[in-house]
Amino acid sequence: MIEVLLSLRVNALQIAPELRKNLVYELIRNDIFNIEASEKFDFIISMLEFNNQSLKHAVTSLVSVVSSTLRGVEYLVSGNKFVVVEKIVKVIYCVYLS
């Protein structure tokens, strides 16, 4: 799973910036983090809580790509819930303390 997440991020960074938005929209349309299908953030939160630094890095990297558009931000904070943002900040904070 880590390789897939990282390859999505690498592919997003390799395409032209004007086309990157279309990739992000496709990721959202396919509900990459299973937010819309479950109407919860359990999938992405569980990946961020898993005790694997490589997985956390891969997820935060892909979140950075998704959040590069307004629609991506709306997807990640749907329902005005900022649990993903809070969890990302905690992950980054813990990495910083290590």
Q: Which helix (H) or strand (E) holds 33?
A: none
pLDDT given at position 78: 85
Spatial contact of 27 and 15, defined as CB atoms under 8 Å apart? no
For residue 3, the SS3 value is helix
Does 60 score more than 80 pLDDT? yes
16 dihedral zone (left: phi>0; alpha: psi -120 to 50; beta): beta
pLDDT score for 29: 96
pLDDT over 80 at 97, yes or no: no
pLDDT beyond 90 at 76: yes
The whole-model pTM stands at 0.86
Q: Where are the beta strands (DSSP E) in 3-97?
A: none
> How distant is the alpha carbon of residue 44 from its chain centre?
8
